[in-house]
Amino acid sequence: MTQVTELYACLYAKEFPAQALLRLRPDLHSKPCVVLEGEAPTQHVCSLNTKARLLGMERGMTRVEVDTFPEPVALLRSPQSEAATKAVLLECAGAFSPRVEDRSEANAFLCGIDIAGTKNLFGPPDMLARNLLQRVRALGISASVTVSTNLHAAVSLAKGLSRNTPLHVIATGREAATLAVLPLSVLDLTEKQTETFGLWGIHTLGMLAALPEKELVARMGQESRRLRQLAQGGLPHLFQPVEPVFKLEERAELDSPVEILESLLFGLAVMLEQLILRAKARILSLASVTVTLTLDGGGIHIRTVRPALPTTDKQLWIKLLHLDLEAHPPSAAIVGVMLHAEPGSTTKMQLGLFSPQLPEASRLDVTLARIRAVVGEDCVGRAVLQDTHAAEAFRVEPFTVPTGESVVPTSPHSRASIRQLRPQETASVTLQHAKPTSFYFREKRYNVEHAYGPWTLSGDWWNPTLWAAEQWDLVARAQDGAMLCCCMVRDVLQNRWQMAALYD
């Protein structure tokens, strides 16, 4: 049996608090943005984007110092946004390998991916790294990807890569040479270790790797042995994988309350695009989308949109959400948005060659949404009989695409058909010994030749809407010889006769 050589990819995203907040805010990408942490007035910058860094802003600045720069955008750190973005990135990494280890730090996302044995699926390591980087960029995150046979070497290189080189594959046996030029800061040294190496004139991993091991351990302890192995790219690692959860969910917090629905749609479009992108990566569509609006004052407004067929048409989803929120507006200004989608199959319906052309599903969904906005949701759908013997008892359910074959059994014998009258028509009946003998119906008199019944029905006796009825099947003949087979019903409570149905 051939032993598979260890091979790891490292996905590293700097300034993660800022990237998590700006991922769904394309309108802020061209502006200098900083993320503030702490309580006012002691807030300080914990993360910032490239535009802010080029202006001279840096971590640790106070809010007062930030305000001295021209038109800065200050955002509050959001643990919810960071957790959601981390879940999205772990899910993305899990598409390339089931073994993913989360090694995130305070201000950076970092994960290791065990890609040993994936060459037949994703190609050589450099191709896998390019595809992973492309997928992450599509999610709105700027990151770097490194590949090595040693996980710690890949992690150190990812931290030390420049922004102009977001991808690097370390050749087998070249770990020490590749890491030699990197600064010691990639090893996360303590303050005491940094001070000691500075006094010794040690500033790069190559200089640390060249130190004699025994003398180094004698002066700095056993921890220095691990640091030297890290600098050489030879420290072994026990991989501790996590199981990424596939959850189609995006959330965003607004800078100020929004009252105009059209202003919200721009942000919804960006969030929908991300959901669709993640669903497509797994060959799925969106079957339903639930929008949860956090309102000013602490309230929540939840709406769910479910088209007839799962789809990845972004414009269709925006239109459906727009119509639904327009028909059911929130009661207060909006301060936060969360979208949750249920995945669905991308299978398309196969029509027969000579079948009539059906309306396009997307256009039909929009039309139904517009009708619901006018007449109400309870008035659009298909009628479904309720489990009761009461006349006209039905409810309206949303339209659904039938799956499988009909469960109604087929019979080779012919059956009598019945034409039910809706609404039932009033008839005048003559009784003899509590049995119909003749009646007037549609200005014609009929004599009853055969009467079958009565079949008594009743229900809802525990409610104010109680009802009771008698049903008769009659065979009658008019004076001109015309025969009529019908079903008549007497309302017992009101003593009223009505023609319910006609037999063919």
Q: Which two tokens stand for residue 130?
A: 């390019």
431 DSSP β-pair partners: 436
For the CA atoms of 61, 66, 68, 70, the dihedral, rounded to the nearest 10 degrees, stands at: 140
Burial 142-155, CB ≥16 within 10 A → b, else e: bbbbbbbbbbbbbb
CB contact set of 242 (below 8 Å; sequence gap of 6+): 90, 100, 101, 102
Per-residue pLDDT of the chain (504 residues; tens, 9 = 90+): 455 689 999 999 999 999 999 999 988 999 999 999 988 888 999 999 999 999 999 999 999 999 999 989 999 999 999 999 999 999 999 999 999 999 998 899 999 999 999 999 999 999 999 999 999 999 999 999 999 999 999 999 999 988 788 999 999 999 999 999 999 999 989 999 999 999 999 999 999 999 999 999 999 989 999 999 999 999 999 999 998 888 999 998 888 888 888 888 888 999 999 999 999 988 899 999 999 999 988 899 999 998 878 889 899 999 999 988 988 889 899 999 999 999 988 766 565 566 555 556 667 777 777 887 777 777 777 788 877 777 777 788 776 656 555 566 666 767 778 888 888 899 999 999 889 999 999 889 999 999 998 998 888 777 777 888 999 999 999 988 899 999 999 998 888 999 999 998
Say how far apart CA 335 and CA 257 lie, in whole Å.
Answer: 5
Sequence letter at residue 149:
T
CA dihedral 287, 290, 291, 293 (to 10 degrees): 180
CATH fit for domain 249-344, picks 3.40.630.10, 3.30.1490.100, 3.40.50.300, 3.90.550.10? 3.30.1490.100
| Helix H or strand E encompassing 404 | none
pTM > 0.85: yes or no? no
Residue ranges per structural domain of the chain? 8-232, 249-344, 418-503
CB 477 within 8 A of CB 447: yes
The four Cα atoms 192, 194, 196, 198 give a dihedral, to 10 degrees, of -150
Q: Residue 303: name the closest of 343, 362, 261, 270 by CA.
A: 261
Q: Which two tokens stand for residue 391?
A: 């006349």
Distance CA 332, CA 316 (A): 26
Please name which of 286, 282, 283 lies closest in space to residue 94, comparing C-alpha atoms.
282
Could you give the count of Cα atoms lying within 13 Å of 336 in the half-sphere of its Cβ? 16
442 backbone φψ class: left, alpha, beta (φ>0; ψ -120 to 50): left
CATH 3.30.70.270 fits 8-232, yes or no: yes
